[in-house]
Structure 1
Amino acid sequence: MSFKKNLLLSLLLASTFTCSFAQKKTKKDQLVTIETSEGVMHLVLFDQTPLHKANFLKLVDKKFYDDLLFHRVIDDFMIQGGDPDSKQAPAGTLLGKGDIGYTIPAEFSAALFHQKGALAAARNDNPEKASSGCQFYLVQGRKWTATELEFQQTRAARPFTEQQKTIYQNIGGTPHLDGSYTVFGQVIDGLAVIDRIAALPTGQRDRPEKNIAMKISSKKMSKRKIHRKYGYNYSN
């Protein structure tokens, strides 16, 4: 069996394992931590996107992301990382084309949207909207007026709920990406880190002039403790 097929088989097995536990509504979850020179962020991953959750945790467990860069940042939009070619990449190197050799099928949910702090999968312009196996972005975005949201809704692949409109108006995000890129997690602590990274001076292809390396880890923690420590409310 080829290396690529082995990767895909491992991913499918991992996702099946994740789905089975999600159905049992476990009392614990994986708290993801992203450390950077600009600060630390904590995230949760969504059970509604089991393929993306299993794949991301698998790569984190293998320390795949450690020392990779946030190689593309755009103020009022997002910060992107996960390109394996970015590790120790010399200054001026054009990044963003690196991959891991497989993609993840899109997992869209009307309940998951591009609010500020959303963790979403990058992708190329493929018709299935399949996600990169490794590259991701964290949403910064901006706040939108009601009139602007009406226009953005025509650009998005689905309508916004009233709750989503309220969040886009008061917290911010990138609403026009909804339904086109898979959202599979959320920053629950450290949103200001996204702001600091997004504000950095950039060069070609929006690469920061200052290298921003990441270290990502995960730790199993009770949902009650995550709620108590970070204020995140689980729906189940």
Structure 2
Amino acid sequence: MKRSLFLLSIMSCLCVNTFGQQKNQYVKIETPQGWCIVKLFNETPLHRDNFIKLVKSHYFDATTFNRILKKFVIQGGDPDSLYEKGHTLKPQQKWLAPEFADSLYHRRGMVAMGRDDNPTQSSFTTQFYIVDGHTWTDEQLDAISQKYKVNFRQAHRQVYRTVGGTPHLDQHYTVFGEIVKGLGLIDKLTSLQVDQAGNPAIPVWMKLTLLTPKQAAAALK
């Protein structure tokens, strides 16, 4: 009996260690303008698993980047109207509880989920965006901190001052991934002709592929 309990304890520890060391998964996003590789964060398992499920089902392959706003975000997955009241949601279209992590913030190249103004700050399951943003001064960050109730780490401030991003979205929209290769795709997409609402003159299709560990390793070389 004692031996069985001892073995069970070892197995439990191994399971915890394995979970704690879970490897990140990667998705390739292809567009007419080029491609990028996105690393999905294990700190946001609900958003990660939802995104992977939709990628595997090729849901995003029938959608576009429908809203491109230079110095802000590149949004795709579906138009806002699909979630407006009076419309019937598709099975994939629902809301996810927010997963905010202090270490995951809106620096340039991060990937997050869109939402409406619901009080719980829950995410749309099918609408995601890539952060473009711009650089900010300390005075501007102080104003954002006060207005949006966000406390910025000094390391985050340094990134916002030098690399840029959209700091006012921190702790209000769930960040679940980041571009780790092909960051130049942002500049290519934001250089496209769009109307005042950010709608591209020519639709920007997308194709998303979940990479195997071997494919990810080769792509990131």
Equivalent residue, structure 2, for 1:71: 66
Identity of aligned residues (%): 35
Distance 1:23 1:53 in 2: 15
Contact persistence 1:29–1:221 (CA under 8 A): no
Contact persistence 1:123–1:181 (CA under 8 A): yes
Equivalent residue, structure 2, for 1:23: 19
Instruction: Indicate yes or no: 2:88 matched with 1:96.
Output: no
Give the residue type in structure 2 aligned to 1:30: Q
Alignment of 1:40-55 (within 5 A): 40-55=35-50
- Unaligned runs of at least 5 residues, structure 1: 1-19, 84-94, 231-236
Give the residue type in structure 1 aligned to 2:82: G
Report SS of the residue matched to 1:216.
strand
TM-superposed deviation, 1:81: 0.2
Report SS of the residue matched to 1:97.
helix
Instruction: Indicate yes or no: 2:140 matched with 1:144.
Output: no
Equivalent residue, structure 2, for 1:221: 213
TM-score (norm 1): 0.77
Provide the aligned length of Structure 1 versus Structure 2: 198
Report SS of the residue matched to 1:191.
coil
TM-superposed deviation, 1:204: 5.5
Query: Highest CA radius of gyration, 1 or 2?
Result: 2
Contact persistence 1:156–1:175 (CA under 8 A): no
Report SS of the residue matched to 2:60.
coil
TM-superposed deviation, 1:194: 1.2
Cα deviations across residues 189-223 of structure 1 (Å, max 9, x unaligned)? 1121112212222125321112110000011327x
Contact persistence 1:71–1:81 (CA under 8 A): yes
Kindly tell me: are residues 67 and 21 of structure 1, through their superposed partners in 2, closer, same or farther at Cα, counting changes over 3 Å? farther
TM-superposed deviation, 1:77: 0.4
Report SS of the residue matched to 2:98.
coil
TM-superposed deviation, 1:22: 7.2
Where does structure 1 differ by over 3 angstroms across 4 or more consecutive aligned residues?
A: none
CA RMSD of aligned residues (A): 2.3
Alignment of 1:163-174 (within 5 A): 163-174=155-166
